[in-house]
Amino acid sequence: MIKDEIISRITDRRARIGVIGLGYVGLPLLAEFARGGFTGIGFEVDAEKAAIINAGKSYIGDVPSAAIAEFVAAKRLSATTNFDQLEECDAVIICVPTPLRKTKEPDVSYILAAAEQITKRLHRGQLIILESTTYPGTTDEVLFPMFAETGLKLDEDFLLAFSPERVDPGNPQFQTHNIPKVVGGVTDDSTEAAAHLYAQIVANVHAVTSARVAEATKLLENTFRAVNIGMANEMARLCYALNIDTWEVIRAAATKPFGFMPFYPGPGIGGHCIPLDPHYLSWKARQHGFDSRFIGLAEEVNSRMPDHVVQLISDGLNDEEKSMKGSRVLLLGVAYKRDIDDVRESPALSIIDRLRSKGAQVRYHDPYVAELRFDDAHTEAGGAPLRSVELSEEEIKAADCIVIVTNHSQIDYQRITDLAPLVVDTRNALNGDLRRSSRARIIRL
């Protein structure tokens, strides 16, 4: 049986692992296989990324360059733009982006492009796994027919499964090796072989009955977060209207040992998962005549948070008898989350756009993001790039308002509250002691 042949090669570490897409998901995964004693090949369309990896360096914060250098030197890891080398791989894992179209419908073009490269080189004895987040049915309704057109047969010649990526960039506690892996195959043999592969590098593998279940699992995880963040954001807006401290309310509610899980408000949601994945689920629901109202409402609430932040800034400036137009506003942090350099879907982009449209002079400081470029998807007020400014005493004092958008740990918030006239804190970065000793006027989300 082909399943037994593949499992045998995996067990003996004879299986060569190919990973298509070497971003925040693919590179850590490839490195983990190399650490586990496998030989891995990373496939990239970006020649510069491939060259960096082959030089023994990493461009992903969660993967140390020293580790890449060790694996490259041991010839257990390499990167290439030559997809003909897929023929050398026993297992091929697809880790490409799955963005949304401007209509907020799924864009699986990167998955299709990867699948086309595999289809040209598919041969007996290969295990194909999709990790890219997508709607339920993609693996068996889209990928399987493409591979079947080669004349090769599932379970007899190749295996096909889905295992959702669960990477949390910048999280030192949970990384690829200790995040449980959900695996669902198009067939039982596919599930068993894929689960066996991941069990070589991941402590806990949870097999499910189908690829569709595995696909839906990832969408539920992120939709759960989006809906609950939406609730926290709506509560924050209500508490602001009622002049109640949102964060104190959440801390108090979190003392309940059952029936409550704390979620926290913010300036908006960012990253590649939470803003996008619920749309994959709601799109699939619409195909079956189902109206996913919770998902739509959460997206509506979360997408309004940049407007709320701008309103807080405007209220603060008005209290200082200053207009938004012409005021100098300094944003602290533009990455979508703490201590990373990723600005995908960052709420900072929308906040900057809205501030610019109102005539504010916008500057920013981010120790991880040297330059911020804008495109049509994020800006309507003109897309002049911005560069991170030094957080000097003069810069802080010159700002009419400082806005904490991302609470990077490198920033000295005590210094900010000592020097700035007005601070809008969207992340609860200023704790009680800082607020009490602050010379600045502080407005909290």
Shared domain check, 346 and 289: yes
pLDDT, position 294: 86
pLDDT, position 283: 84
Domain boundary among 143, 173, 208: 208
The Cα–Cα gap between 74 and 80 comes to 17
The Cα–Cα gap between 406 and 332 comes to 6
The Cα–Cα gap between 135 and 143 comes to 13
- Over residues 289-313, the pLDDT tens digits come to 988 888 889 899 999 999 999 999 9
pLDDT, position 280: 86
Global pTM reads 0.91
Domain boundary among 176, 208, 240: 208
Which residues of the chain fall below pLDDT 50? 376-381
Expressed as residue numbers, the domain containing 135 is 2-208
Shared domain check, 293 and 262: yes
Question: Does 317 map to a domain?
Answer: yes
Q: Is 89 a catalytic residue?
A: no
The Cα–Cα gap between 426 and 405 comes to 6
Shared domain check, 50 and 189: yes
Shared domain check, 113 and 37: yes
Question: Does 214 map to a domain?
Answer: no
State the catalytic residue, choosing from 89, 95, 239, 273: 273
pLDDT, position 377: 42
pLDDT, position 382: 52
Q: What is the CATH number of the domain that holds 385?
A: 3.40.50.720
CB 193 within 8 A of CB 160: no
List all residues 6 or more positions away from 196 whose beta carbon is below 8 Å from its beta carbon.
7, 10, 11
**Domain tally for the chain?**
2
Q: How far is CA 304 from CA 269, 298, 307, 309, 345, in A?
A: 10, 10, 5, 9, 14
What six digits make up the tokens of 229? Answer: 């963040």
Shared domain check, 204 and 100: yes
Q: How far is CA 294 from CA 215, 223, 290, in A?
A: 19, 9, 12
pLDDT, position 249: 96
Shared domain check, 204 and 341: no
- Over residues 368-412, the pLDDT tens digits come to 999 998 864 444 445 688 999 999 999 999 999 999 999 999 999
Q: Is 157 exposed, middle or buried (0-12, 13-18, 19+ CB in 10 A)?
A: middle
Question: Does 223 map to a domain?
Answer: no
